[in-house]
Amino acid sequence: MALLQPYRTQQHRAEVRIQANEWPEPNPASRYVAADDLDRLLLNRYPGHGDELRKVLAERWRVRPEELILGNGSNEVLLGVFLVFGGHGRRTLLFQPTYSMHARLSVIAGGEAIDEMIGLPYVLRKDRALDAMDRVRPAVVVFTSPNNPTGNAIDQEVILAVAEAYPDSVVLVDEAYADFAGTTLVPQIERNPNLVVSKTFSKVRAAAGLRVGVLAVHPELAGYFNAAQLPYNMSALTLAVAVRIARDEASVERRLALVASERQRVFQALRAVAGIEAFPSIANFLLFRLREGVPADVHARFLEQSVLIRDVSNWPGCERCLRVSIGTPEENDRFIAALDTVFSPSSIHR
Ligand SMILES: Cc1ncc(COP(=O)(O)O)c(C=O)c1O
């Protein structure tokens, strides 16, 4: 524990910031709350339990409101899973490369993270997953789908096979990017009480700054999470804004269309660079691997063009890799133009 370094994304100044898989267009809070809404928000009182927010989300996902646990960002509900089901003497199984917080949070909760290296391309097969479960016997196994940093989805059949074969393990599915894929395992929770699914407002809902995450769980498990949760963990301001964001489906539809076309454009541009291997993605980011050269140098050369991307080359299984989030069309133009400077123009085939 003492050896854990604080979690920090790379904080450099840049005009084009496409390093954290956020939604790139400005989303001002004034879009959702007006001055008279603020007048009705009484800060001297403790907030409620987010009943209205849970009702809106429960209708959308066809579950009951009491099956939804709210947190300050999905990181908080993820930590809740490890606090309740991981912890001292218990193992968490992770399929690497994946979102680095899962390992951190399971260690913070006192448990042990065990890596199963899948590598790139990130294709997790059923026999591989079941074999790892058999060897590790984890209290918690995590599937991130679509996966960060690889951008592809894990076959739902693989996840369900694990949930069915290991009913005593908690199967945590991190669906931070699932809206981009248009799929979810939430409806399967009813038949698989050991399945828990996390979601976030930080990606397609364009509200990373608001900090809203949700965990969908079976009614049998909800009591454990409610017991472990800090009282009043969601602020009254957050809840008020989140309800309105949750109702704004039209914006989600528009963003999904924008990501699909922009991702294709950025992918083609990456594919045209001979020195790069780009991995197909269904999320709002793309992973690419350098055939030669040093990732830190490439990262720095993008930064010279005021384009900030993410060097993920020190993530397990991601040697020589960088990740770029899909930005606004103008930001993507800047990234694509920077490719010419960062990589020698003769190596680009358009
Ligand atoms: C897979 C995955 N899960 C969860 C999160 C964290 O989301 P939140 O902002 O809801 O804590 C991220 C953020 O990048 C992520 O990539």
Buried-state track 288-327, b at ≥16 Cβ within 10 A, e below 16? bbbeeeebeebbeebbebebbbbbbbebebbebbbbbbbb
Distance from residue 274's CA to the centre of ligand 1 (Å):
32
**How many Å is the maximal CA-CA distance in the chain?**
64
Predicted local distance difference test score (pLDDT) of residue 251: 97
Predicted local distance difference test score (pLDDT) of residue 5: 75
| Nearest CA owner, ligand 1 atom 3 | 176
Q: What's the rounded Cα separation, in Å, for the pair 138 and 133? A: 7
Tokens 């959702």 belong to residue: 32
Q: What's the rounded Cα separation, in Å, for the pair 22 and 208? A: 7
Q: Which helix (H) or strand (E) holds 56?
A: helix 51-61
Distance from residue 75's CA to the centre of ligand 1 (Å):
6
Predicted local distance difference test score (pLDDT) of residue 12: 86
Report CA-CA distances (Å) from 68 to 295, 310, 312. Answer: 41, 32, 32
Q: Is 184 within 8 Å of 178 (Cβ atoms)?
A: yes
Predicted local distance difference test score (pLDDT) of residue 10: 57
Q: Which helix (H) or strand (E) holds 78?
A: helix 74-85
Return the amino acid letter for 64: R
Q: What's the rounded Cα separation, in Å, for the pair 44 and 48? A: 13
Distance from residue 99's CA to the centre of ligand 1 (Å):
8
Tokens 């509200």 belong to residue: 207
Paired strand residues for 215: 69, 198
Residue 301, classed as helix, strand or coil, is helix
Q: Say if strands 91-96 and 140-144 run parallel, antiparallel, or are unpaired.
A: parallel
Counting from 1 in the atom list of ligand 1, the atom nearest the Cα of 147 is 1
Counting from 1 in the atom list of ligand 1, the atom nearest the Cα of 177 is 1
Distance from residue 109's CA to the centre of ligand 1 (Å):
18
Report CA-CA distances (Å) from 199 to 269, 294, 323. Answer: 31, 34, 21
Chain CA centroid to CA 121, Å: 19
Q: Is 85 within 8 Å of 105 (Cβ atoms)?
A: no
Predicted local distance difference test score (pLDDT) of residue 152: 98
Residue 70: DSSP 8-state? E
Which tokens sit at 191? Answer: 């038949």
Which residue ranges have their beta carbon within 6 Å of ligand 1? Answer: 21, 73-75, 99, 144, 148, 174, 176, 200, 202, 208, 213
Q: Where are the beta strands (DSSP E) in 33-162?
A: 68-71, 91-96, 112-117, 140-144
Q: Is 318 within 8 Å of 326 (Cβ atoms)?
A: no
- Give the chain's domains with CATH numbers: 16-25+250-347 (3.90.1150.10), 43-248 (3.40.640.10)
Q: Is 104 within 8 Å of 125 (Cβ atoms)?
A: no
Q: What's the rounded Cα separation, in Å, for the pair 325 and 340? A: 18
What is the residue-level pLDDT of the chain in tens, covering all 350 positions?
A: 556 777 666 578 999 999 999 999 999 999 999 999 999 999 999 999 999 999 999 999 999 999 999 999 999 999 999 999 999 999 999 999 999 999 999 999 999 999 999 999 999 999 999 999 999 999 999 999 999 999 999 999 999 999 999 999 999 999 999 999 999 999 999 999 999 999 999 999 999 999 999 999 999 999 999 999 999 999 999 999 999 999 999 999 999 999 999 999 999 999 999 999 999 999 999 999 999 999 999 999 999 999 999 999 999 999 999 999 999 999 999 999 999 999 976 566 66
Q: Say if strands 213-216 and 68-71 run parallel, antiparallel, or are unpaired.
A: antiparallel
